[in-house]
Amino acid sequence: MTADKLAALVAVALLGCVVHTCQASYGYPNPLPPIPSPTPPTAPALTLDFYSYSCPNAEAIVKEAVRNATDNNRGIGAGLIRLFFHDCFVRGCDASVLLDATTANPEPEKLGIPNFPSLRGFEVIDAAKAKLEKECGGIVSCADIVAFAGRDATFFLSNGVVDFKMPAGRYDGRVSFANETLRDLPPPFANVTVLEAMFKAKGLDLDDMVTLSGAHTVGISHCSSFADRLPADPSDPTSMEPALASSLQQRCSRGGDPVVVQDVVTPRDLDRQYYQNVLDRKVLFKSDAALLSPQTLKAVEHNAKNPGKWERKFKDAMVKMGNIEVKTKANGEIRKQCRFVN
């Protein structure tokens, strides 16, 4: 598929939401910004045990920071997995999502609608970076810390079941813009056509999309991200299960924008329960319910019914995602502080 055809496909798929203003309840602009042609994925020279000589304790330091955070709050672990995803999908895995607002750039990625105020885990990255700078200053990139933290959070939240190595060697980017988050990050109201196209734009296929969606088995969501699915619609075969919809409507009607767990069955564990929840219509987002589509239903059923299958695929998909548009020394740097460029 050519870049022009892919961009056209995404535009057409989003048209239904634009016409019916379905993104209004999510705080997204109407219409959405145009989606550009995809950037072909690079072939970076990432390697395992990248810091074995230059900073031998690098991965252990990150793992300890993640352990401390998840021991106190497993939700932070879910936030770290999401942080990795949201970093890689915008300008590649370059820690651009970590950059704070400055006078020169008052609206970085972390302030984009898909990220603010829901994205979390920044303080864990800061803690790991501070220790790494004391141990081996100027060696470990923030982008690699984000990747290691996503992997380690996966390990702890799966109770050690999903254990894998993450290649490293990324450099940190110097650019971060909030408006690019709307363009690159799949919205919670996306259908399968949109999801497939947006993942393809990053070098990931349909099965990668289904696999990575399984991260919704942990973490929390603001009610505003699924408000248009309440109450349940009996005429819609993908509508939320009525009892869950009724319970959530009660919770979400209390004022403000409350948060609820994404997986009502095993909310603390990263496991394959998400796929059974999809089949049982006990998921929050339209983008979750969209996996009941013919293109993805078989993969959902296989992941739900076969122990170990999703876990193995999730390891591979996380590593594959970590290769998106990686920066090198030629177009990146090793930041001294993860929140600011050097």
Would the annotation count 175 as a binding residue?
no
Would the annotation count 154 as a binding residue?
no
Q: Are residues 98 and 202 in the same domain?
A: no
Would the annotation count 94 as a binding residue?
yes
Would the annotation count 271 as a binding residue?
yes
Residue 52 inside a domain? The answer is no
* Two tokens, residue 201: 């734009």
Residue 331 inside a domain? The answer is no
Burial readout 198-214 (b: 16 or more C-beta within 10 A, e: otherwise): bbbbbbbeebbbbbbbb
Q: Are residues 129 and 171 in the same domain?
A: yes
Would the annotation count 224 as a binding residue?
no
Residue 23 inside a domain? The answer is no
Instruction: Give CA–CA dist 96/183, Å, rounded.
Output: 15
Active site residues: 86
Residue 6 inside a domain? The answer is no
Report the sign of the C-alpha dihedral through residues 121, 28, 264, 260, in that order: positive
Q: Are residues 155 and 178 in the same domain?
A: yes
Instruction: Give CA–CA dist 187/285, Å, rounded.
Output: 9
Instruction: Give CA–CA dist 188/244, Å, rounded.
Output: 18
Q: Are residues 181 and 80 in the same domain?
A: yes
Tens digits of residue pLDDT in 183-229: 999 999 999 999 999 999 999 999 999 999 999 999 999 998 999 89
Q: Are residues 204 and 166 in the same domain?
A: no
Tens digits of residue pLDDT in 53-71: 999 999 999 999 999 999 9
* Two tokens, residue 157: 């939240």
Residue 215 inside a domain? The answer is yes
Q: Are residues 209 and 303 in the same domain?
A: yes
Would the annotation count 217 as a binding residue?
yes
Q: Write a three-state SS string for 112-177.
A: CCCCCCCCCCHHHHHHHHHHHHHHHCCCCCHHHHHHHHHHHHHHHHCCCCCCCCCCECCEECCCCC
Choose one of 136, 160, 185: the last residue of a domain.
185
Q: Are residues 178 and 268 in the same domain?
A: no
What is the domain range of residue 281? 192-196+198-321
Per-residue pLDDT of the chain (342 residues; tens, 9 = 90+): 444 443 443 333 333 333 223 343 467 776 666 665 666 555 567 999 999 999 999 999 999 999 999 999 999 999 999 999 999 999 999 999 999 999 999 999 999 999 998 999 999 999 999 999 999 999 999 999 999 999 999 999 999 999 999 999 999 999 999 999 999 999 999 999 999 999 999 999 999 999 999 999 999 999 989 998 999 999 999 999 999 999 999 999 988 889 999 999 999 999 999 999 999 999 999 999 999 999 999 999 999 999 999 999 999 999 999 999 999 999 999 999 999 999
Q: What is the pTM of this model?
A: 0.90
Phi-psi region of 313 (alpha: psi -120 to 50; beta: other; left: phi over 0): alpha
Q: How many domains does the chain have?
A: 2
Instruction: Give CA–CA dist 201/98, Å, rounded.
Output: 22
Instruction: Give CA–CA dist 105/218, Å, rounded.
Output: 33
Q: Are residues 248 and 151 in the same domain?
A: no
Residue 21 inside a domain? The answer is no
Q: Where are the beta strands (DSSP E) in the chain?
A: 220-222, 259-261
Residue 268 sits in a domain whose CATH number is 1.10.420.10
Residue 42 inside a domain? The answer is no
Choose one of 139, 163, 185: the last residue of a domain.
185
